Structure 1
Amino acid sequence: MAGYGKGAGRVPTGFAAETFISESSFREGHRALESGEKSKKRKRENKGDSSILVGAGAYKGPWARYEEERPDAASDEEFGSDEEVEIVYEEDDIEDNPTAAPQKLAGTDYADTEAAGETSEFVGSQQYDYQGRTYMHIPNDLDIKLTGERDDTKNFHPKKLIHTYKYHTKSITQVRFFPGSGHLLLSASADSKIALWDTYHQRELLRTFSGHTKSVNDIDFNPSGTQFISASYDRYMKLWDTETGKCLNKFTSGKTPHVVRINPSTPHEFLAGMADKKILQYDTRSGEMVQEYDHHLGPVNTITFCDEDRRFVTTSDDKSLRAWEYGIPVPIKFIAEPYMFSMVRSSPHPSGKYIAFQSSDNQITVYSSTDKFRQNRKKSYRGHNVAGYAPDVAISPDGQLISSGDSGGYVCFWDWKTCKMWHKIQASDAPVLAVQWHPRETSKVITGDLNGVLKYWD
């Protein structure tokens, strides 16, 4: 029989079952009983300084070895129970860290992005014209009228490339024409830079804006074009002066903003759709957050103003659409159908009655932006591929054409009424992510691709 055991037999209280224990377990228990040995916590070596990698005092952390056990300070008789006893050492026995560990680790610290100062540089050929006016002045020497009411100009899809803008080194994330006139073009990129271009004359790079430390997600002009807001993965939203390039204000909630929109009717306020499911409303004059809309269940992708800016519609990764009264943090409409996909980009129709959304299932869907906020089932634009990307969707100023980027490098054009695809241009060998129509011209469209190249079509 291997081990020690007791055969089954009758005892005064009943029957005792036969039990076996291994020899090592028996001897260990026997020794512990005889010696009354108490378990003790051993002292480790000093963990070292986390700022020192090698050499004396280097950081050992949880891998510090145990020091040699010192002789028992007290005899076993002093301890009456079998509880675990921790040996307390004299305070002067523990060596303090000779140098304090650094407060921040550069690789994991997010707060030091604020340290990046905002700079802007004018890089155009001449900053002032013969009358001392900057590029903010809308040119009059063109064969097209850039001011006043837009006439009933009919739009057509473009056919040929007329200019290529190159400055950015990484993907174009968003482009915006100067409100009303379109004589300037603003582009944001994943290389953390924002650039301002001339749409007419030399079509040159006019000004660069640096201040973000990570990819710029979105940009938006105020209605007059004098300022614009930018949002970036460095968790900051920054308000810039278009003319001087000065950063006027910075905003952050500690989370990444995905989309920013200035309220056209209240230019000193803007909305930001965040990665933590919230929509935040900021006042640019005070720099304070004045309202929080917290009903979405996933990161917010789009914000679109409607109903003369009294309301706005948002979509999110939670595959839902919510409509809100501006300033009231309770949705007035919530749409989430089983067949819906997350909608990643949006564009309001010039009539103010509809909003077009880029849906992740390779189609553009349309919702009414009036009281009902219902999906228009008759309008679905297909034939392009968006999987894995978020190409922009844009509607022509006359409301008759709708365009979208494509992950295969195309820019696609559909007829608004019939939903028939008119035209497809191979605009790049990389996915086309940004598309915008010129607000005044009949057939001019700007596209931006994953390689950082902007192309101007007519």
Structure 2
Amino acid sequence: MAGSQRGAGRLPTGFAAETFISEHSFRQGRLALETGATSKKRKREAKGNAGILDGPDAYKGPWAKFDHERPDAAEDEEFGEDEEVEIVYEEDDIEEMPAPAPKKLAGTDYQDESIGERSEFVGSQEFDYQGRTYMHVPTDLDIKLTGDPGEAKNYIPKKLLHTYKYHTKSITQTRFFPDSGHLLLSASADSKIALWDVYHQRELLRTYSGHTKSVNDIDFTPDGTQFVSASYDRYMKLWDTETGKCLNKFTSGKTPHVVRVNPGSPHEFLAGMSDKKILQYDVRSGEMVQEYDHHLGPVNTITFCDENRRFVTTSDDKSLRAWEYGIPVPIKFIAEPYMFAMVRSAMHPSGKYIAFQSSDNQITVYSSSDRFRQNRKKSYRGHNVAGYAPDVAISPDGQFVSSGDSGGYVCFWDWKTCKMWHKIQASEAPVLSVQWHPRESSKVVTGDLNGVLKFWD
């Protein structure tokens, strides 16, 4: 051993005498054996040209390696620097070569687990007699799905129209096609996204596969031609609604909990992350362009307001923060001792209020104007959300507030009086997703913990 005495003893080749080797002598001897240069002074590489950054003549300065440290030093001595050496592998060698290590994403410790994205059209007819796909808004219905929405009055749904079944695990989010509502997009914990026909056959039209874990959230662009998905596999993906092609992938190495496309800038979206940050991405460049980092817990909701110039976020830190879009400093911070974490949100059609699903079994309301104060007169109670995060939705005319319930109910309240109007037993499992149809007067879709979607009228 280096730095210690070696004891005397008899060996098969003779007798070993006791001696002492210092640490320094041991290291020098070992180095000499490794390099084969006991009497030769170690040489460094050339320092290079200070004006060159890359290539063989690049500047190395005091960081130039010794000859024995260069991986190609031995080859240089044997073959000369300019000679190329061809290496031929036998078949047996190739089979035994180790598989390449999985790719790692730049700037993160997250290992790439993504699989190839794929989408399949599973409907009965992809094109109509004029060659149009399901993206075309149907005009052969009793209700007009194009043009201005008008002042239609909403009513509480009472009967079940249809049940959609495809997902095998919990429904995490549903979205109607913007403006017309003739298509329905659903995301599930089974890592799949599905597109459904709301009218005609009410069938499954297209499936989108590419996430490896539960899909947390989905959001359409304003024209509906694309949508963004966020998943526990730490990826956010941009999809083409019509072709099913994955157009882009985004990741920061952390889990996105909520994604929202900016209606005022459809090429940008915000993502609320598990590491307390809100990230702003540009889908054209694929780059993160802004980071909002003031929350103290995972971000749960993002709600655009004030004609999309501002947005409001809530987090597990039991606070509410308001931001100017593009400026990473909060303009309002609300954290009261009586506040609970707010897990879902919905903007009132008037644009003046935001309703939040609070973890203490109530829906609270905050103004979306300059003050962002809580409206103490508006509190909707009578449902149970403990342990879950049911969606909250407001009817297009602003008259009714609706929410899921852990007991399998869908609850409806009057916006003005805060009294519960009605409860529907929508499922035996907790109802997690509720959305009002943007055009129809009393159509509502619900999604439950078992993966079943139900369409009500």
Q: Which structure 2 residues correspond to residues 375-394 of structure 1 after superposition, within 5 A?
A: 375-394=374-393
| Aligned mates of 1:148, 1:455 — CA distance in 2 | 27
- Which whole-Å CA distance do the structure 1 matches of 2:125 and 2:117 have between them? 23
* CA apart distance, 1:151: 1.6
Per-residue deviation, residues 65-124 of structure 1 (Å, max 9, x unmatched): xxxxxx997737x489xx9xx99997999xxxx988766589xx952323x111111111
Give matches, 1:365-380, under 5 Å.
365-380=364-379
Report the equivalent of 2:348. Answer: 349
Provide structure 1 residue ranges, at least 5 long, that are not aligned to the other structure.
1-37, 42-70
User: CA contact under 8 A between 1:433 and 1:450: conserved in structure 2?
Assistant: yes
Output the amino acid matched with 2:219: D
Q: 1:138 to 1:375 in 2, by over 3 A?
A: same
Residues of 1 paired with 2:117 and 2:166: CA distance? Answer: 19
> 1:227 maps to which residue?
226
- 2:112 aligns to what SS in structure 1? helix
Q: Residue 147 and residue 105 in structure 1: after superposition, are their counterparts in 2 closer, same or farther (change >3 A)?
A: closer
Provide the C-alpha distance between the structure 2 equivalents of 1:199 and 1:318, rounded to a whole number of angstroms: 38
User: Which amino acid counterpart does residue 188 of structure 2 have in structure 1?
Assistant: S
Post-superposition shift, 1:350?
0.2
The residue that corresponds to 1:75 in the other structure is 18
What is the alpha-carbon distance in structure 1 between the residues aligned to residue 284 and residue 202 of structure 2? 34
Distance 1:74 1:319, change over 3 A: farther
Letter in 2 for 1:301: N
Query: What does residue 328 of structure 1 align with?
Result: 327
The equivalent residue for 1:119 is 118
Count residues with an aligned counterpart.
Answer: 381
* Structure 1 letter corresponding to 2:111: A
Question: What TM-score do you get using the length of structure 2 for normalisation?
Answer: 0.79
For 2:233, give the aligned amino acid.
D
Point out the structure with max Rg over C-alpha.
1
Residue aligning to 2:238: 239
What secondary structure, in the 3-state scheme, does the structure 2 residue paired with 1:188 have?
strand
Q: Matched residues in 1 for 2:187 and 2:102: separation? A: 30
The 3-state SS of whatever aligns with 1:158 is: coil
CA distance 1:330–1:143, change in 2 (3 Å):
same
Contact 1:40/1:87 (CA < 8 Å) preserved in 2? Answer: no
Partner amino acid, structure 1, of 2:329: V
User: Tell me, which stretches of 5 or more residues in structure 2 are unaligned?
Assistant: 7-13, 35-92, 104-108
1:424 matched residue in structure 2? 423
Task: Provide the rounded CA distance (Å) in 1 between the counterparts of 2:15 and 2:443.
Answer: 89
What does the per-residue CA deviation read over 1:335-357, in whole Å, with 9 as the maximum and x for residues that have no partner? Answer: 00011011000000000000000
- Name the structure 2 match of 1:66: none
1:130 aligns to 2:129 (yes or no): yes
Deviations 1:17-38 (A, max 9, x none): xxxxxxxxxxxxxxxxxxxxx9
Paired residues of 1:192 and 1:214 also in contact (CA < 8 A)? yes
Q: Could you tell me which residue of structure 2 aligns to residue 308 of structure 1?
A: 307
Aligned-partner residue type, residue 303 of structure 1? I
Aligned to 1:195: 194
1:222–1:267 contact (8 Å) kept in structure 2? yes
- Alignment-mate amino acid for residue 404 of structure 1: S
1:239 partner amino acid: L
> What amino acid is aligned across from residue 311 of structure 2 in structure 1?
F
Aligned partner letter, 1:176: R
Change (3 A) 1:90 1:342: same
Q: Deviations over 1:390-435 (max 9, x none)?
A: 1000000000100000111111000001110111111111111000
**Secondary structure of 1:113 counterpart:** coil
Give the 5 Å matches for 1:55-204.
Answer: 75=18, 78=20, 104=101, 110-114=110-114, 116-204=115-203
- Structure 1 residue identity aligned to 2:313: T
Distance 1:122 1:100, change over 3 A: closer
Is this contact kept in 1: 2:392–2:434, CA < 8 A?
Answer: yes
CA distance in 2, matches of 1:309, 1:370: 12
Q: Distance in 2 between matches of 1:250 and 1:366?
A: 35
Once residues 240 and 117 of structure 1 are traced to their aligned partners in structure 2, the CA distance between those partners, rounded to angstroms, is 13
The question of whether the paired residues in 2 share the 8 Å contact of 1:387 and 1:407 is answered with yes
Q: Write the distance in 2 (CA, Å) between the matches of 1:40 and 1:421.
A: 88
Q: Distance in 1 between matches of 2:259 and 2:145?
A: 26
Alignment of structure 1 residues 434-445 onto 2, 5 Å: 434-445=433-444
Partners of 1:39 and 1:345 lie apart in 2 by 68
AA in 1 matched with 2:162: H
SS of corresponding position for 2:113: helix
Partners in 1 of 2:5 and 2:418 — Cα distance?
Answer: 79
Root mean square deviation of aligned Cα? 2.6
What is the alpha-carbon distance in structure 1 between the residues aligned to residue 30 and residue 15 of structure 2? 14
Structure 1 residues 229-259: Cα deviation after superposition (integer angstroms, max 9, x where no partner): 0001111111111111111111111111100
Letter in 2 for 1:259: V
SS in 1 for 2:178: coil
CA separation in 1, counterparts of 2:446 and 2:97?
Answer: 53
Q: Which residue is 1:209 aligned to?
A: 208
Equivalent residues of 2:117, 2:208 under 8 A apart: yes
Query: How far apart, CA to CA, are the structure 1 residues paired with 2:276 and 2:99?
Result: 34
Q: What does the per-residue CA deviation read over 1:321-348, in whole Å, with 9 as the maximum and x for residues that have no partner? A: 0000000000000000011011000000
Relative to structure 1, the CA distance from residue 72 to residue 266 in structure 2 (aligned partners, 3 Å threshold; closer, same or farther) is: farther
Using a 3 Å threshold, how does the CA distance of structure 1 residues 132 and 317 change in structure 2: closer, same or farther?
same
Distance 1:392 1:122 in 2: 28
1:217–1:259 contact (8 Å) kept in structure 2: yes
Q: Is the 8 A contact 1:403 1:414 kept in 2?
A: yes
Q: 1:75 is aligned with what amino acid?
A: E
3-state secondary structure, aligned to 1:446:
strand
Residue type of the alignment partner of 1:112? D
In structure 2, the partner of 1:262 is 261
Q: Is the 8 A contact 2:102 2:111 kept in 1?
A: no
Conservation of the 8 A alpha-carbon contact between 2:102 and 2:112? no
Give distance in 1, aligned partners of 2:379 and 2:257.
25
Q: Which amino acid aligns with 1:397?
A: P
Write the letter of the residue equivalent to 1:232: S
Contact 2:110–2:253 (Cα < 8 Å) also in 1? no
Residue 394 of structure 2 corresponds to residue 395 of structure 1:
yes
